[in-house]
Amino acid sequence: MSNNEQNILIVDDDPIVLKSLRDLLAVRGYTTDTAIGGKEAICQLDQKEYDLVLLDLHMPYVNGHDVMIHLRKHKQAPAVIIVSGETSFEAARSACSQGAYDFLRKPYATEELIITINNALKEKRLEKQNKQMQMQLKESERLHRYLVNTSPDIIYILDPKGNFTFINERIESLLGFDKEELIGKHYSLLVHQADMEQAKYVFNERRVGARASSNIELRLKCKDDGAPRYFDTRSLPIELSSMGIYNDAKSSKQDTYLGTYGVARDITERKIAEETINFQAYHDLLTHLPNRSLLRDRLGLAISHAKREKEMLAVMFLDLDRFKNINDSLGHMIGDELLQQVSTRLKGCLREGDTLARFGGDEFTLLLPKISDRREDVSKIAEKIITLLKEPFMVDGHELYVSASIGISMYPQDGTNMDTLIKNADVAMYHVKGQGKNDYKFFSIDMNTPYTRSLSLDTGIHKALANDEFSLLYQPQVDLKTGEIIGVEALLRWEHPEHGTISPSEFIPFAEETGLIVDIGNWVIKTALNELKNWTDAGLPQIRMSVNISTRHLAEKNIVKTINSALKETGIPGNCLEIEITENAIMDDMDSVVQKLKKLACNGVTIAIDDFGTGYSSLTYLHKLPIHTLKIDRAFLQDSNFTNTDHTIVNTIVAMAKGLHLNVIAEGVETQKQLDYLRELDCNQAQGFLFGKPFTSDIISQLLIQEPFAAPGSKKSKSGQQDRRH
């Protein structure tokens, strides 16, 4: 700031004095304002800020004292130099006591006046600069305080002993401590016990520059407010950077350590994100179970451990039966919810240390390490799973039933590495699928051949219809009182170009899973009814044709239409067709199945429950559905099953069917003993190798011409019977 930037006001009631002062100063480079008398001076002082006032004391009306009083009153603070004719000491004293900078008597010595003016202006300049600096300092301090307190980080200063001398307000929101209560306390009060050792090297860091601690992860303790906590919110992950504080190195030779300055950043969100990413990489998002990668990790470890400890371990491959049907008919939302419920239930079967993983879709894998009691432990778990899954699942108002096919491989006998164990458990699982599902099987070496065959079945089945590779055989169903063939069951065969004749049990699961069963099933219905028409046209006795309809096929929208049009086209009356469905088909989607079966029954078609007794065997649906026949599964007819006549399942089913006025067909009758037993129970119909294996159409037409079947023991027993059996 130069002289001419400073404002000077000259006040005097004598215009000559005014002019002479003004000229004097102008020559020395000062620009000045003048005021004649005290009143005008006050006016000008109110309008403009002056640095210096040259003030006459003795003026009429408003004198120099009045002007100074005004200045004080209005907190205007120019330097005031009294230039007065007053000579008394008292005048000078009182002027100075009113705040005048100096007192010059008229006539003044020019040099003295100029020196005084220069000094006053210099002092004023310094005063102004000082004020400005102070304001800047205050502003900067305010800014720093603001930055420190609103910082998302905890900022602290420790004394050389590690006690807090400063900590910002962030500590309150992050850890719940009042910052005042921490001042003077040791930093260890905030450090999580487990991280204390590491904290010693970073929290009161002495180093500076590149060697100081930077971004070190630690956990801090939150203040324990005594409230019960359900999650661990008592620690806060932070990233700490800190450095030593020293006094000015230039001033003394030896630096003095004054303490530590540190910044701790809350990294909770980053930790959560890291954990989520980590979780997602190793878990299935739908069920939160470990995924394939984590299972492989754990299996790898378990194999090494088993090798070292000479233990056994088991890998279970578990595939839900007919899950695709649920997904297709009820939608993915329901399917997903069902998978979640299934995984929760499966978790209930685990021992500590077992790993249940979702392999994708409806496949789960179970790793059972530390198997000591050979296979028995594993069998128990597999049985437990099968039993647990029997209870229905409630999903969005639907009562759903699922079952699982489980394949098991054991380390070391079924494989010593991860891939072989998983593959062999998978092979065993496919065997369960092929043999009726809802069961478990241990891998055995002879399973490998059909498995590789299964793979080619999967592709070959797509072309089988077009290549005319399917055919039907017909197995007689016999009236046990008369011995007459009252019907036949159409049984599908696939003549595979490489593998020869393949049983439906082996390829139907594939056909169901791929959806090809719909086309194949439609072909079966048409072919079977055409054959029946051929027999009738040839004048053979009218019999009933039983056709197996798979669950997936029954779920088709057009199934009723397909069946009714096939009947119409062939002119076969509805009551000559019986469809065989399984209990699973009904349970999968009861409401829609009831509608379809009722429509078919209206057209005379009869409905049989196939393999009765192996599924849910629930009596409730028997009332709801238009069912005519129960087919007792052949498993119940095995000799070992009826040593005690009164308590057999067959006994119960026959009694129940009679009560409900249902027709009963016993399946798989192979021996005379079984037949005698059935007769004793008054079972009305039977089917099995004792009467004949599934035959070609030609053989059936011959049988229909011949006399009735007469199984040994019946009144109509004839010698020709053996010829009919193949």
Task: Provide the minimum distance between the beta carbon of 337 and ligand C2E in the complex, in angstroms, as a whole number.
Answer: 29
**CA 669 to chain centroid:** 52
Among 153, 588, 589, 610, binds Mg ion (CB under 5 A): 610
Q: Which stretch binds ligand C2E (CB under 6 A): 301-309, 387-395, 599-607, 685-693?
A: 685-693
Verify binding: residue 578, Mg ion, rule CB under 5 A. Answer: no
Tell me which DSSP letter residue 614 carries. Answer: S
Task: Provide the minimum distance between the beta carbon of 396 and ligand C2E in the complex, in angstroms, as a whole number.
Answer: 29
Residues β-bridged to residue 545 = 488, 577
Question: Of residues 662-721, which lie at the interface with Mg ion (CB under 5 A)?
Answer: 667
Whether a cis peptide bond, with omega within 30° of 0, leads into 694 is no
Question: Of residues 603-642, which lie at the interface with ligand C2E (CB under 6 A)?
Answer: 610-611, 634
d(CA 189, CA 163): 10
Verify binding: residue 33, ligand C2E, rule CB under 6 A. Answer: no
503 binds, among ligand C2E, Mg ion, none (CB under 5 to 8 A by kind): ligand C2E
Instruction: Please identify, using beta-carbon distances, which residue of 438 and 548 lies nearer to ligand C2E.
Output: 548
Task: Provide the minimum distance between the beta carbon of 552 and ligand C2E in the complex, in angstroms, as a whole number.
Answer: 9
Q: Is 630 exposed, middle or buried (0-12, 13-18, 19+ CB in 10 A)?
A: buried
Question: Of residues 465-504, which lie at the interface with ligand C2E (CB under 6 A)?
Answer: 475, 490-492, 503-504
Return the ∠ at Cα 701 (arms to 697 and 703), rounded to 5°.
115
Among 42, 596, 611, 703, binds Mg ion (CB under 5 A): 611
Instruction: Please identify, using beta-carbon distances, which residue of 504 and 626 lies nearer to ligand C2E.
Output: 504
Verify binding: residue 509, ligand C2E, rule CB under 6 A. Answer: no
Instruction: Please identify, using beta-carbon distances, which residue of 383 and 670 lies nearer to ligand C2E.
Output: 670
Distances in whole angstroms, Cα of residue 12 to Cα of each of 62, 101, 212, 215: 11, 17, 69, 72
Among 527, 548, 663, 697, binds Mg ion (CB under 5 A): 548
- C-beta separation of 666 from 650 below 8 A: yes
Binding mask 162-181 for Mg ion (x = CB under 5 A): --------------------
User: How many amino acids of this chain bind Mg ion (CB under 5 A)?
Assistant: 5
Tokens found for residue 161: 């002993």
Verify binding: residue 670, ligand C2E, rule CB under 6 A. Answer: yes
Task: Provide the minimum distance between the beta carbon of 523 and ligand C2E in the complex, in angstroms, as a whole number.
Answer: 9
Residues β-bridged to residue 246 = 257
Instruction: Please identify, using beta-carbon distances, which residue of 564 and 614 lies nearer to ligand C2E.
Output: 614
- Residue 240: closest CA among 208, 212, 215, 266: 215
Instruction: Please identify, using beta-carbon distances, which residue of 484 and 667 lies nearer to Mg ion.
Output: 667
Whether a cis peptide bond, with omega within 30° of 0, leads into 450 is no
d(CA 427, CA 442): 10
Among 4, 505, 592, 717, binds ligand C2E (CB under 6 A): 505
Tokens found for residue 310: 């000479």
Question: Of residues 334-373, which lie at the interface with ligand C2E (CB under 6 A)?
Answer: none
Verify binding: residue 506, ligand C2E, rule CB under 6 A. Answer: no
Per the rule left: phi > 0, alpha: psi between -120 and 50, beta: everything else, 318 is beta
Number of other CB atoms surrounding residue 353 within 10 Å:
11
Instruction: Please identify, using beta-carbon distances, which residue of 407 and 613 lies nearer to Mg ion.
Output: 613
Instruction: Please identify, using beta-carbon distances, which residue of 120 and 511 lies nearer to ligand C2E.
Output: 511
Instruction: Please identify, using beta-carbon distances, which residue of 414 and 556 lies nearer to ligand C2E.
Output: 556
Verify binding: residue 580, Mg ion, rule CB under 5 A. Answer: yes
Instruction: Please identify, using beta-carbon distances, which residue of 22 and 322 lies nearer to Mg ion.
Output: 322
Task: Provide the minimum distance between the beta carbon of 665 and Mg ion in the complex, in angstroms, as a whole number.
Answer: 9
Instruction: Please identify, using beta-carbon distances, which residue of 13 and 580 lies nearer to ligand C2E.
Output: 580
The b/e string for 678-706 (b: 16+ C-beta within 10 A; e otherwise) is beebebbbbbbebbbebbebebbbebbee
The b/e string for 301-339 (b: 16+ C-beta within 10 A; e otherwise) is ebbeebeeeeebbbbbbbbbbbbbbbbebbeeebbebbb
State the SS3 of 477-501: EEECCCCCEEEEEEEEEEEECCCEE
Verify binding: residue 550, ligand C2E, rule CB under 6 A. Answer: yes
Q: Which stretch binds ligand C2E (CB under 6 A): 394-402, 536-544, 618-626, 668-676?
A: 668-676
Verify binding: residue 548, ligand C2E, rule CB under 6 A. Answer: yes
Task: Provide the minimum distance between the beta carbon of 323 and ligand C2E in the complex, in angstroms, as a whole number.
Answer: 18
Look at the block and give the residue holding tokens 């599902």. 437
The phi and psi torsions of 575 (rounded to 5 degrees) equal -70, 0
Instruction: Please identify, using beta-carbon distances, which residue of 6 and 548 lies nearer to ligand C2E.
Output: 548
Instruction: Please identify, using beta-carbon distances, which residue of 78 and 521 lies nearer to ligand C2E.
Output: 521
Verify binding: residue 689, ligand C2E, rule CB under 6 A. Answer: yes
Verify binding: residue 450, ligand C2E, rule CB under 6 A. Answer: no
Verify binding: residue 588, Mg ion, rule CB under 5 A. Answer: no
Task: Provide the minimum distance between the beta carbon of 389 and ligand C2E in the complex, in angstroms, as a whole number.
Answer: 21
Task: Provide the minimum distance between the beta carbon of 473 and ligand C2E in the complex, in angstroms, as a whole number.
Answer: 7
d(CA 711, CA 434): 32
d(CA 266, CA 164): 19
542 binds, among Mg ion, ligand C2E, none (CB under 5 to 8 A by kind): none
3-state secondary structure of 97: helix
Residue spans of alpha helices (H) in 500-589: 504-514, 517-537, 551-554, 559-570, 583-588
3-state secondary structure of 534: helix
Q: Which residue is nearest to ligand C2E (CB)?
A: 688
Contact residues for 181 (Cβ-Cβ < 8 A; gap 6+): none
21, containing H or E segment = helix 15-27
Q: Which stretch binds ligand C2E (CB under 6 A): 33-41, 208-216, 346-354, 666-674?
A: 666-674
Task: Provide the minimum distance between the beta carbon of 554 and ligand C2E in the complex, in angstroms, as a whole number.
Answer: 9
3-state secondary structure of 606: strand
492 binds, among ligand C2E, Mg ion, none (CB under 5 to 8 A by kind): ligand C2E
| Contacting residues toward ligand C2E, per CB under 6 A | 475, 490-492, 503-505, 508, 521, 524, 548-550, 580, 610-611, 634, 667-670, 687-689, 694
| Contacting residues toward Mg ion, per CB under 5 A | 548, 580, 610-611, 667
